[in-house]
Structure 1
């Protein structure tokens, strides 16, 4: 299973410096090439991010077994976590094998649908930028929204250090550093005509199991992200976003047809396309550029390749008089910790 061990090794490199526990566990899985653990991990379909998915499944199950020795290493489960030591990986292995049936089921039916609420820190200025170039409120359509928490970007408060904007009375405060440029940060969010998400497997914020899965996808060391997620779930449950279960190619046309043709549309996807086959990405781009020729449609799109390190980008694609234009709006931390405005 060399490909799988390589995947765990790459994940460990990625997690290094961000979550010592996950880096340690992934590196040990790769180094030991334990056939029992790798066989369990192989229960995940081939199109899933297996290391992240396995760790999320363990995290989900461990929250229900806080007395297990492994829980002592998880900041999300205990108030006084131990640093990874010689006993950590054996406890992890024992937990996985003891709870293998439940973990295997999660690997088969769940996805790594991390709903990084802090990513709204780049969407706020990006959507404000688009709104400044159209007439009337925006119809926002998000591709791969998970539970749709970023569709509710206008219900959050944002602290960019030198400026605080957004919904002043929101229980959600998203702190993000402006590293460069001058992003448009209006005091109030842009007006919306409507909002909807299209996802193969949308998560329901009112369903406890789905909400717990979202929590399990947050790495144990990321306490700030977990707090923001919990606050955003509270907001979402009062008025959940509309989510359509469907394919981004097959079902997107019907969703767009629901929006009057004179209403400006902004299709949004952040960190989604890297999980989509290249041919499908090309077909999606072709379809959206065709739509731009017949209606006011803008596209805020993320990258199809995440091999560039700890920074990702957001582009703005739209029709201009001389053809389709693509502008690099921002580089940003994948979890929204900072934004570098490039436009």
Structure 2
């Protein structure tokens, strides 16, 4: 990929200038074409595959600088920080921030996006209900490769709702509206939960919370509210996320003995696109080998966003698929609800 192609990728991500990130990606693309600070920052990533979402890594790096209070001139443009200023006026204030933080932003491009988007729990829960229904086993051992901070491992601590149904604790700090009629919740107990990630995030620390927050678009206030609620739950119910690659970790976890009557569910969401092909193949092999030892179901929510023009995004066509052992059960937005049952 050339600098011009990467610039077009920036422009096409939203395809409009209707919000802050639409404006910034258009301006960053022009700066990239012109050989400005953006070109210096992105120089080592011109050959990155589209799935690496270099544009989102850069926006998150800038947002972290703002969240740390090191670019107060940008705060009026960030709605999640109370900003209301016109995004079209932001670029002259962003350019010097790029120039002052070139090294940090170059490093930021090495970091895969980790929103640990907790809205995905609503989609994964549909898969989990189906796994319990298929096997008749309601005691669940939950394993998650690519778990980031492990927020989705706390799915049973969240309240899920939809037309004429609900599941999970009524007093949960986080309520996820799936907007999906026809979901049939299953009674289940998670008896063990554990995840892995190449770069696990400690959600209990201010640094970890800031890191996760930086990947959530600043104008999407509902997602920020969801993340804040999930972080509150995680501080009260911490989970273990090991620093390890997916395949080796899965092989180790699935080799361990499991009590009778416990269903192992391996689940993942929007992570496989960041794995090399060899890792994808090895992880799939580890799961298949695990099936020979214990009752196991694989739940996955995966799908690379399409190239978007004029902001178009049809969930039924473009949304990631939630599958249970390869069978499609739902589609959704990449950030979670609404959930469309299949």
- With the length of structure 2 as denominator, give the TM-score of the two structures: 0.86
Q: Could you say which residue in structure 2 is the equivalent of 1:328?
A: 328
Distance 1:278 1:105, change over 3 A: closer
Q: Separation in 2 of the partners of 1:34 and 1:160? A: 49
- For residue 162 of structure 2, the aligned residue among 160, 163, 187 is 160
Q: Which runs of 5+ in 1 are unaligned?
A: 318-325
Distance 1:6 1:114, change over 3 A: farther
Q: Is the 8 A contact 1:19 1:222 kept in 2?
A: no
Q: Could you say which residue in structure 2 is the equivalent of 1:84?
A: 87
Q: Which residues of 2 match residues 4-19 of structure 1 at below 5 A? A: 4-16=3-15
TM-fit CA distance, 1:202: 0.8
Q: Could you say which residue in structure 2 is the equivalent of 1:126?
A: 127
Q: Could you say which residue in structure 1 is the equivalent of 2:277?
A: 278
Distance 1:243 1:220, change over 3 A: same
Q: Could you say which residue in structure 1 is the equivalent of 2:42?
A: 41
SS at match of 1:302: strand
Distance 1:296 1:199, change over 3 A: same
Provide the alpha-carbon RMSD of the alignment. 2.5
Q: Separation in 2 of the partners of 1:101 and 1:14? A: 24
Q: Could you say which residue in structure 2 is the equivalent of 1:320?
A: none
Q: Separation in 2 of the partners of 1:43 and 1:106? A: 12
- With the length of structure 1 as denominator, give the TM-score of the two structures: 0.86
Distance 1:67 1:114, change over 3 A: closer
Count of aligned pairs between the two proteins: 326
Q: Is the 8 A contact 1:113 1:146 kept in 2?
A: yes
Distance 1:161 1:8, change over 3 A: farther
Distance 1:18 1:196, change over 3 A: farther
Q: Could you say which residue in structure 1 is the equivalent of 2:223?
A: 225
Distance 1:191 1:81, change over 3 A: same
Q: Separation in 2 of the partners of 1:229 and 1:5? A: 35
- The answer to whether structure 1 residue 56 and structure 2 residue 60 are counterparts is yes
Distance 1:18 1:272, change over 3 A: farther
TM-fit CA distance, 1:17: 6.9
Q: Which residues of 2 match residues 1-343 of structure 1 at below 5 A? A: 3-16=2-15, 20-32=19-31, 33-35=33-35, 36-42=37-43, 46=48, 48-65=52-69, 68-77=72-81, 79-85=82-88, 87-108=89-110, 110-134=111-135, 135-178=137-180, 182-186=182-186, 190-260=188-258, 262=260, 263-303=262-302, 305-307=304-306, 310-317=318-325, 326-342=326-342
SS at match of 1:264: strand
SS at match of 1:113: coil
Q: Is the 8 A contact 1:274 1:306 kept in 2?
A: no
